[in-house]
Structure 1
């Protein structure tokens, strides 16, 4: 499973596939992911065919945040980008590596492709790992669901190794053929369909009637097509709004 988490290290270094090295500080990286998991995950977030520049004014490997459009300076997140990447990819235990990616901030600074700057290298990688784990368990794409679990008193919402693709303070999302909790089948083939799948969930993991911010989030997620873009948007939105009492009494526009 480690190959899934290390296959796009070149993107975190601002390099193209053609310029990708086979090792990073002695660790094998940028290797092909088996069972077409990488290609399928890419189709969840980007269109088929030759890429086209979608934001001509932003020709950069850095991700363009959908929430506020402000690119975060690397220096505001990490001192040395090389050390941060090494600390992330050198982990040998697959489950620990998965957890590190869930918590990582540096990969979220980069897009899957400079042609599609709203996408997220972090969530593309987590989607690749989730699909690979399902495929290795002989579960075809058509049997895979988006599943939701909520906070139930533990330190974190339920985390399933490799299949959890997002965690927040109060809920987690999983891409799995073995759903527990509210779930919706993704579809027969990989395509940009996040909003459609989200709309088919029998329940969402927050109370849209309680606060306007959750209605805003739910409405946006029903519109977003790209999976990595949507997952990154959830992370940014929840980090901004928060889940504590201070957020509940916020005077921001979304309160």
Structure 2
């Protein structure tokens, strides 16, 4: 957590709402392909593209991207649309991602007044999962970067240090407001300082691309790697991915791909 980061950031106007709203709106410009320095301050009448207190954007970025000046990692791919680790192709679909369709989806995501509903909308959004968090790192996911920002901010404002935090495995459908970063058919994942009796693993002393090591150290795993071939593949690949937003997006993509594969086989 950045020292004293909240002192100036807390003065930013968020339209009279809980500062948490900034976490979900801070990267709205990336879904329009606009550089941060020239991004508009409002969208559909609400403040967007504002700084999130406590330096959480930087910490969440460090979970998925290297520090320092970014470099192009994929030739001939300089778009805001994410590349799929499963297919190796862009998630852009000209029929699905029309300008009006994307703008309508963004309006629903960013103008929601109920913060818990906003959190759930981000968890369930298919549209926002199509975008990367940086054109330099096209396999990263803006959706999961945003959810990580929200989870870190909710913990930091509760006076939890990064070194106190855990990756916690919850039952499917169990959503902790702002701290759940993934929910699927078989399990949910959250960032929290307490796990209770749930399987968990510490994030470490500082934010870095530590997904694989954190996943490997879980006290118990939510996947049936002894009997289910799909779970075996998913687990093996999750043990190789370092970037957090990439890994969380991969779980979502893999679940969708598995579901489609099973439907085709029946």
* TM-score of the aligned structures, taking structure 2 as reference length: 0.88
Offset of residue 70 of structure 1 = 2.1
**Retained in 1: the 8 A contact 2:44–2:111?**
no
Q: What do residues 90-135 of structure 1 show as CA deviations (whole Å, max 9, x unaligned)? A: 0011111100100011111110100000000000000000000000
Offset of residue 242 of structure 1 = 2.9
Offset of residue 240 of structure 1 = 1.4
Gaps of 5+ in 2: 1-19
Given the alignment of the two structures, is residue 94 of structure 1 paired with residue 115 of structure 2, yes or no?
yes
Q: In the superposition, relative to structure 1, how do residues 170 and 91 fare at CA in structure 2: closer, same or farther (>3 Å)?
A: same
Among 97, 108, 112, which residue is 2:129 paired with? 108
**Retained in 2: the 8 A contact 1:7–1:31?**
yes
C-alpha RMSD of the superposition: 1.7
Aligned positions of 1:91-240 closer than 5 A: 91-151=112-172, 156=173, 158-180=174-196, 181-240=198-257
**Retained in 1: the 8 A contact 2:139–2:246?**
yes
Structure 1 stretches of at least 4 aligned residues deviating more than 2 Å after TM superposition: 74-79, 249-252
**Retained in 1: the 8 A contact 2:169–2:222?**
yes
Aligned positions of 1:3-152 closer than 5 A: 3-72=22-91, 73-76=93-96, 80-151=101-172
**Retained in 2: the 8 A contact 1:195–1:223?**
yes
3-state SS of paired residue (2:107): helix
- What is the alpha-carbon distance in structure 2 between the residues aligned to residue 74 and residue 148 of structure 1? 36
Offset of residue 76 of structure 1 = 2.2
- What is the alpha-carbon distance in structure 1 between the residues aligned to residue 255 and residue 58 of structure 2? 29
**Retained in 2: the 8 A contact 1:77–1:105?**
no
3-state SS of paired residue (1:18): helix
Q: In the superposition, relative to structure 1, how do residues 174 and 41 fare at CA in structure 2: closer, same or farther (>3 Å)?
A: same
- What is the alpha-carbon distance in structure 2 between the residues aligned to residue 59 and residue 122 of structure 1? 18
Q: What do residues 63-94 of structure 1 show as CA deviations (whole Å, max 9, x unaligned)? A: 11111112231532565211111111000111
**Retained in 2: the 8 A contact 1:41–1:124?**
yes
Gaps of 5+ in 1: none
**Retained in 1: the 8 A contact 2:132–2:138?**
yes
Offset of residue 18 of structure 1 = 1.8
3-state SS of paired residue (2:216): helix
Q: What do residues 36-88 of structure 1 show as CA deviations (whole Å, max 9, x unaligned)? A: 11110000000000000000221111111111112231532565211111111
* TM-score of the aligned structures, taking structure 1 as reference length: 0.91
